[in-house]
Amino acid sequence: MAKLIAKPSLPGPEDIFRTVLPNGITVLARSNFNSPSVSMGGYLPAGAIFESDEKLGLADFVSSSLMRGTQTRDFDGIYNALESVGASMGFDSGVHNANFGGRSLVEDLPLLLKLLSESLKTPIFPKDEIEKLRAQILTGLALREQDTSDMAAMAFDRTLFAGHPYSRPSDGFVETIKAITRRDMQNFHRAHYGPKGMVIAIVGAIEPKKAFEAVNRVLGGWQVPCQVDAPALPPHKPVRKTVRKHHSIAGKSQSDLVIGMIGPSRKDPEYFSASLGNAVLGQFGMMGRIGNVVREKSGLAYYASSSLSAGIGPGSWEVHAGVNPKNLKKAIDLIEKELRRFVKSGVTKNELADCQANYVGRLPLSFESNSGVAGALLSIERYNLGADYFLRYVDLVRGVTRDDVLATAKKYIDPDRLVIATAGP
């Protein structure tokens, strides 16, 4: 009934521009002239993996400080330039990378890139600004301490990834944030911020070649000969039996729970069968089977779902729910039962077909906005998926069989070796 107009809606080798500058920066670009705006995003390898246990939160503190003052502009000057034209930009960091993102009207892209370049290359970490930021981070940590969902997630990571960099919260702890000096930040920046391994994507109302030239103009000359390579990830130790951890927070009306185990990394061959299996388990429709038993049938929770967190290193496969404290055990029992069923008999033909149809059908929806496309280009680059990834996507999804899902479930999920983390009263 709807008039379908053929249009190149999926990013592919024909319209994804990619080039690597001589200094190592990878530039990705794709045009979209439907709106006079442009979205920019990217990352560079300057994450928490480089920091010590004593200075946990350093990478995050550094990335949050980049826009607090540079050799050319002070904090207010940076934000005045951005906000005066309705543009925005920000940095954060995870275990592996420091990430950045921003958007502006296309006429202001040169300004956006100039500010990006200054923030990356010449931050000066002004003493008073660092102290203001430190107070803000400490308040953030005090609020985290009261957040049942955050605290359950932290207890989960600490247990599942014991001894591994993924066990640590990248925003640190009160004592480690207090221990970080301005000198630590300057040293971290000097050693880890550089063009090697940096990726930037620009999507919007601009020809890719012009986007590339704009990046090259401000970042093409950046050289950091002593930029330190990231250390290899150590192996993680699997849990031997189900472990339960509870973090007590008084005065709360709801508890949060996380139940899970190690999952595949993004590059593992089982990624797609795990992802589709997870969709059946805790995503599809109203949060899949988990949502059905915990929310729809038992009315125990407003949210109860499962998710796959798959990145560079070992991933995690997690079930999340928020329940009344008195229903915690009941919810855990129901979830454990679903996990056993999932590992024993996998998914039905119809369930798998539903999820495959969902994955294929929703693909164009993820490219509705420029930032959605930029994120897709960055994923292709980060996980080496190939420029034709979205053109192969339908085959990748449809190629997964029930046997694949069952084998993947059995490989990763052992209902007798779960990590169960809860937080609440």
Partner 1 sequence: MANKITQTTLKNGMKVMLKEIHTAPIISSWVWYRVGSRDEPTGKTGISHWTEHMQFKGTKQFPASMLDKAISREGGRWNASTSHDSTRYFETMPADKIDLALRLESDRMQNSLFDAKEVASERTVIISEREGHENEPMFRVSEAVQQTAFHVHPYHHEIIGDMADLRTITRDDLYDHYRKYYVPNNAVLSMAGDFDTKSMLKRIKELFEPIPKGKVPPRLIRPEPEPKGEVRLSVEGPGETTFIQVAYRFPNATDPDYIPLQVFDSLLAGASGLSYKTSRLYRALVDKEFAVDVSGWSEATIDPYLYRITITKHPKRQPEEVLAALDKEITKLQDVLVSSSEITRAVKQARAVFAYGSENITNQAFWMGYVEMFSSYEWFTDYLNKLAKVTPADVRRVARKYFQPSSRVIGTYVPKGKEA
Looking only at residues 86 through 125 of this chain, which bind partner 1 when binding is defined by CB under 8 A?
A: 86-88, 90, 103-105
Looking at 43-51, 248-256, 259-267, 390-398, which segment touches partner 1 (CB under 8 A)? 248-256
Query: Which residues within the stretch 255-294 sit at the binding site for partner 1 (CB under 8 A)?
Result: 284-286
Output 9 or 187, the one with its CB closest to partner 1: 9
Whether the CA torsion 258, 259, 265, 269 is positive or negative: it is negative
Provide the 3-class DSSP secondary structure of residue 126: coil
Output 24 or 126, the one with its CB closest to partner 1: 126
Output 11 or 45, the one with its CB closest to partner 1: 11
Phi, psi of 87 (to 5 degrees): -95, 165
CB 23 within 8 A of CB 195: yes
Output 82 or 201, the one with its CB closest to partner 1: 82
Q: Which residues contact 68 (CB under 8 A, 6 or more apart)?
A: 75, 123, 125, 126, 129, 130, 133
Looking at 58-66, 73-81, 262-270, 410-418, which segment touches partner 1 (CB under 8 A)? 73-81
C-alpha closest to that of 346 among 294, 416, 401: 401
Which of 135, 181, 217, 248 contacts partner 1 by CB under 8 A? 135
Q: Which residue is it, tokens 């990356």? A: 120
Output 139 or 223, the one with its CB closest to partner 1: 139
Query: Which residues within the stretch 309-368 sit at the binding site for partner 1 (CB under 8 A)?
Result: 322-324, 354, 357-365, 367-368
Closest approach of Cβ 64 to partner 1, in Å? Answer: 13
Closest approach of Cβ 126 to partner 1, in Å? Answer: 12
Residue 64 interacting with partner 1 (CB under 8 A): no
Looking at 45-53, 185-193, 212-220, 252-260, which segment touches partner 1 (CB under 8 A)? 252-260
Per rule CB under 8 A, count of chain residues that contact partner 1: 74
Which of 369, 388, 393, 407 contacts partner 1 by CB under 8 A? 369
C-alpha closest to that of 239 among 415, 398, 31: 415
Output 232 or 365, the one with its CB closest to partner 1: 365
C-alpha closest to that of 24 among 188, 284, 191, 224: 224
Output 124 or 162, the one with its CB closest to partner 1: 124
Which of 127, 132, 217, 392 contacts partner 1 by CB under 8 A? 132
Residue 248 interacting with partner 1 (CB under 8 A): no
Backbone φ/ψ region at 188: left (φ over 0), alpha (ψ -120 to 50), beta? alpha
Query: Which residues within the stretch 159-198 sit at the binding site for partner 1 (CB under 8 A)?
Result: 174
CB 120 within 8 A of CB 25: no
CA 158/CA 246 separation, integer angstroms: 12
Provide the token pair at 132. 């203001």
Q: Which residue is it, tokens 């990006």? A: 116
